[in-house]
Structures are given as structure tokens and as C-alpha cells.
Amino acid sequence: MQSDENVVGSARNDTVNGDFNTVDGGPGKDTAHGKIKHKVSANGESDPVVRTPGGAVVGVFSSTLIIRGGHKITVKAHRDEGKIDKVDIIEEITETLPGGQKVTKTVKSSYPVNGPIDSVLLEGGRGNDQLRVDGFGADVPVRLSGGKGNDTLVGGQGNDILNDGAGDDKLFGGGGDDGLTNSRGKDHLFGQDGNDLLVSSSIDKGDRLGGGKGLDNVSFAQMPHDPAHPGRDLGVRAKIGGTARRIDKDGKGHGPSARIAGSVEDLEGSEGDDVLIGNGKNSHLMGRGGDDTLLGRRGDRPSRGTRR
């Protein structure tokens, strides 16, 4: 079906194909395919699944707003009497003109929301993504996933989860108590406001782990065994306001190092033999497994390790 008209679905499960100004699925579990120029209703009943002009797939499932496959996307919520009643998806897309010239432009699609939005899932596609959320407030948690590529993820005011994926990524937690992950690649993690948890499963050259306002924790609890040294249990030597690096049982360093900002308050070690060093600002040092050494200054709170 091809048209520039508006489409309103029935009370049943509808399927709409084509390019339209507005699609309103109505009740039921509906699916829409094509370029939706302006508005698509979302009633919280797994109703519309649509593609934005930039190719992202949008839908609402069990009160979760899901956007998948975009590259440069800002998802902005609008509220009426405290409830989210509309969501704007702002994309940067590249088009090829008839003469072969490529132009980049910003496109906004608006999606009225008729039911509650309790959480948001925003996933990038392949390549370098820029994913941001705005206006959802502290009561709506957001999960951002960059996937492969060099991604930039910016959280909202709620308790968000930001997953970096492979590549050189930059993660900004925003407000709330956020969880940020650091995997392979040169990653920069900034918790910003709130009590944030920065979980590192890899230490690569150029990594930076920073907190912000609140009590922030850098954790190496998910650090795997080093594949370059099979059979050797490597721990971590980490210092607040200094660096982090893998070490063997003799304390010898292996591999690159990461920077840990002085804005971090707490450190959590790996399952290996760790050396954790505080900065005298009421740091909490937790060794976890292994034969750990916790070097706290006056005011620090070492636990589960050998205090020195």
C-alpha cells in the first residue's frame, strides 16, 4: 500500500505497509513497515512497530519503549500532567542526491504515547553510534547499548545502564545511580551525577574511568583470566587517582594500563590477587577473591583483604 495519507488501524491486529504521514494502529498488536513521516501512536499494548526515516525500528512492548538499529539518535520525551504523552526521535541521516552528492540532515519523527512508559531500551546498529536520551526523568530507567563501533552513549536522569560493546567508546551516565561497562577498546566512562558503578572487564591502553558527584565505584569483578597468560591467575593493581593494570602473583605488571580519576570513591577487585590503593577520602576497598592487598590511607575503609 502506497500513500501520503494518514492511516488508522482497526481494533484487531493490523499490518500496514507503505509510506504515510501518520499511522495510528489503534487497539491490538499492530505492525507498520515503511517511512512514517510524522506520527505513530503507541498505546503500550505491543502496538506499532515502525521504521524511522533513519532506519531505526520503534515499538512499545509491555510499557517498554524500544528503539533498535539507529546510528545518531536522540530520544526526547514530552510530558503532560507528569505523564509521557509524546516521544520525539531526532536522527542525523545521510542522503545521496541524484548527482551523487551526499548530504547530511536532521530529521525528527514524533510518536504520541497513549499508555505508560516505564523503561526505555535504545540500541545502536553496526558502526559508530551516538545515542542520547532526554526528558524521561528520574522515574524512567534507560538501557543504552552501542554494540560494535566507536560509540557515544549519554544517559538520562534515571538509574540507567550503559553497555559499550567493542570499539573505542565514550559513556556518560547523566543523573541517577547508573551502571556503565568497560569492555575491549579505548573507552572513556564518566558516571557524572549519582552513585555510579563502573564495571571493567578489560584494561586497554587509553581507558579512562571517572566518577562525578555522588559515591562512585570502579569494579574489576568481571575481569576474566588473561588469555595471553593461560593458567596464570592475574589480578589487578588499581589506585584511585592513578592507574589500573593486570598483575601476576609476584606483583609484576602485564599489559596496558587505564586511568582512574580521583572523583572515584570506591574500588572493587577481581577474583585474582589484587592490590587496591585508596586516596584517603573515605574510600571503600573490597578485595573479593584471591590474596589481596588493600592499601588505605587515613579515612579509607579496606575490607576483605590484607590491610597495610
| Number of domains the chain is built from | 1
pLDDT of residue 232: 62
pLDDT of residue 48: 57
Query: Residue 277 domain-assigned?
Result: yes
Cβ neighbors of 70 (< 8 A, separation 6 or more) are 52, 54, 55, 56, 89, 91, 122, 124, 125, 129, 131
Other C-beta atoms closer than 10 Å to the C-beta of 2 total 8
Inter-residue contact 252 to 235 (CB < 8 Å): no
Query: Residue 49 domain-assigned?
Result: no
Picking from 241, 237, 240, the residue whose alpha carbon sits closest to that of residue 220 is: 237
pLDDT of residue 111: 87
Residue 201's domain comprises 195-308
Query: Residue 207 domain-assigned?
Result: yes
Query: Residue 301 domain-assigned?
Result: yes
Q: Which residue has the cell 528520574?
A: 138
Query: Residue 76 domain-assigned?
Result: no
Cα–Cα distance between 152 and 136 in angstroms, integer? 19
Query: Residue 228 domain-assigned?
Result: yes
The three-state secondary structure class of 120 is: strand
Inter-residue contact 20 to 37 (CB < 8 Å): yes
Query: Residue 210 domain-assigned?
Result: yes
Query: Residue 53 domain-assigned?
Result: no
Q: pTM for the whole thing?
A: 0.79
* pLDDT per residue as tens, the chain (308 positions): 334 444 444 444 556 555 544 444 444 455 555 554 444 444 444 445 788 888 888 888 889 999 998 889 999 999 998 889 999 999 998 888 888 899 999 999 998 888 889 999 999 888 899 999 999 999 999 999 998 899 999 999 999 999 998 899 999 999 999 999 999 999 999 999 999 999 999 999 999 999 999 999 999 999 986 656 655 668 999 999 999 999 988 888 889 999 999 999 999 999 999 999 998 878 899 988 888 999 976 655 656 554 44
